[in-house]
Amino acid sequence: MGENLPRVPGGAQLHSDTLHGPVRTLRVKMVILGSSGVGKSSLALRFVRDEFKNPSPTVGCAYLTRVVHLSDVTLRFEIWDTAGQEKYHSVTPLYYRGAHAALVVYDISKRETFVRAQVWLKELEKQYIPGSTVMCLVGNKGDLDQERQISVQEGQALASDRSLFFTETSVLSGDQISELLLGIAHRVYECIGGQQGGLSEWKETPLIDLHHRDTFTPFASCCKVGP
Amino acid sequence: MERDNHQEGEAQGVKICDSPSESNPPADTLATSLSLLGNHMFPDPVERNDGTTVVKEEPADLHLSDVTAQEQSLDAEHVSNQVKKLETEAAENSECQNNESTETTERGTEDAAIDNDQSDSGEFVVTMLAKAKLEEQGIGVKGRSSPLLEAGTQESPAFMSHRDEDVTADSWRQHRKHVFVLSEAGKPIYSRYGSEEALSSTMGVMMALVSFVQSSDNIIRSVYSEEHTVVFLQKGPLVLVCVSSSRQSEQQLRGELLYVYYQIISMLTQASISRIFEHKKNYDLRRLLAGSEKILDGLLNLVDSDPSFLLAAIHCLPLASSLRDSLSQILQKAITPNLVFSILIAKNQLLTIVQEKTVIEDTRLEPADVHLLLNLIGASSAFQAGEIWTPICLPLFNPDCYFYAYISYLDPPECTVCLLLLSTDKEAFYAVAECKRKIEEAMVAQNSLSLIAKAQSYSVSQVGVSDLRHFMYKPFDVPDNYRQLTQFTSPEMEAPYSSEGEKMRLLDLYRYMHSRIHSTSRPLKLIYHVAERETLLAWVTSKFELYTCFSPLVTKACAITAITKLLRWIKKEEDRLFIRYPPKYSTTPNPSKSSRGGKSDQQDSTDNGFLSLL
Ligand SMILES: Nc1nc2c(ncn2[C@@H]2O[C@H](COP(=O)(O)OP(=O)(O)O)[C@@H](O)[C@H]2O)c(=O)[nH]1
Ligand SMILES: [Mg+2]
Question: pLDDT (tens digit, 9 = 90+) per residue, B448-491?
Answer: 999 999 999 999 999 999 899 999 999 986 554 456 788 999 99
Specify the pLDDT at position A226: 35
> Which of A70-84, A197-211, B331-345: highest mean pLDDT?
B331-345
Mutate to test the interface with A, among B375, B390, B421, B425 (most CBs of A within 10 A): B390
Residue B429's nearest CA partner among A134, A80, A41, A198 is A80
pLDDT tens-digit map of B143-197: 333 322 223 333 334 344 567 777 777 777 778 899 999 888 888 899 888 777 7
Residue numbers of the domain that contains B546: 460-577
pLDDT tens-digit map of B37-56: 333 333 333 333 333 333 33
CA angle A207, B446, B438 (to 5 degrees): 30
Specify the pLDDT at position B144: 31
Q: Is B532 exposed, middle or buried (0-12, 13-18, 19+ CB in 10 A)?
A: exposed
- Same domain as B474, residue B428: no
What are the residues whose beta carbons fall under 8 Å from the beta carbon of B611, sequence distance 6 or more? B475, B543, B544, B567, B570, B571, B574
Ligand 1 centroid distance, CA of A38 (Å)? 5
A107, A154 contact by CB (below 8 A): no
Confidence band for B292, pLDDT divided at 50, 70 and 90 = confident
Q: Of B455, B475, B492, at which residue does a domain stop?
A: B455
| 3-state class (DSSP) for residue B567 | helix
Provide φ and ψ at B49, rounded to 5°.
-90, 20
Residue B3 domain flag: no
Q: Is the pLDDT of residue B282 over 80?
A: yes
- Same domain as B231, residue B207: yes
pLDDT tens-digit map of B329-387: 999 999 999 999 999 999 889 999 998 876 556 677 889 999 999 998 887 665 566 89
Confidence band for B57, pLDDT divided at 50, 70 and 90 = very low
Specify the pLDDT at position B317: 95
Model-wide pTM > 0.90: no
Say how many domains are in chain B: 3
Which atom in ligand 1 lies closest to the alpha carbon of residue A84? 19
Give the residue, by CA position, lying nearest to ligand 1 atom 9. A39
Average of per-residue pLDDT values in chain B: 72
Specify the pLDDT at position B81: 34
Q: Is A4 exposed, middle or buried (0-12, 13-18, 19+ CB in 10 A)?
A: exposed
Specify the pLDDT at position B224: 81
Which atom in ligand 1 lies closest to the alpha carbon of residue B382? 16
Q: Is the pLDDT of residue B123 over 50?
A: no
What angle, rounded to 10 degrees, do the helices at B429-445 and B321-333 form? 140
State the Cα–Cα distance between residues A86 and A80, nearest whole angstrom.
Answer: 17
Residue A44's nearest CA partner among A92, A10, A78 is A78
- Same domain as B467, residue B431: no
Give percent of chain A with pLDDT exceeding 70: 74
State the Cα–Cα distance between residues B204 and B525, nearest whole angstrom.
Answer: 42
Residue B36 domain flag: no
Residue B186's nearest CA partner among B49, B296, B283 is B283
Give percent of chain B with pLDDT exceeding 90: 43
CA distance A127 to chain B (A): 18
Q: Is A216's CB within 8 Å of B440's CB?
A: yes
Hey, what amino acid is at B474? K
**Run of H or E including B123:** helix B118-139
Residue A161's nearest CA partner among A132, A181, A137, A133 is A137
Provide φ and ψ at B37, rounded to 5°.
-80, -30
| Greater model confidence, B252 or B127 | B252
pLDDT tens-digit map of B547-601: 999 999 899 999 999 999 999 999 999 999 998 876 778 876 544 443 333 333 3
Least confident piece of the model among A98-107, B52-61, B126-135, B471-480: B52-61
- Same domain as B420, residue B472: no
What are the residues whose beta carbons fall under 8 Å from the beta carbon of B276, sequence distance 6 or more? B283, B285, B288
Specify the pLDDT at position B567: 96
- Same domain as B537, residue B524: yes
Query: Measuring from each residue's beta carbon to the nearest atom of ligand 1, which residues come in under 6 Å?
Result: A 34, 36-42, 54-55, 57-58, 84, 140-141, 143-144, 170-172; B 158-159
> Which CATH number do you get for residue B198?
3.30.450.30
What are the residues whose beta carbons fall under 8 Å from the beta carbon of B452, sequence distance 6 or more? B319, B323, B327, B346, B351, B417
Residue B596 domain flag: no
Beta strands in B146-204 (DSSP E): 177-183, 188-191
- Same domain as B443, residue B477: no
ipTM rounded to 2 decimals? 0.78
- Same domain as B433, residue B416: yes
State the Cα–Cα distance between residues B367 and B344, nearest whole angstrom.
Answer: 15
Beta strands in B130-172 (DSSP E): none
CA angle A186, A192, A193 (to 5 degrees): 70
Residue B426 domain flag: yes
Architecture of domain A25-201: 3-Layer(aba) Sandwich (3.40)
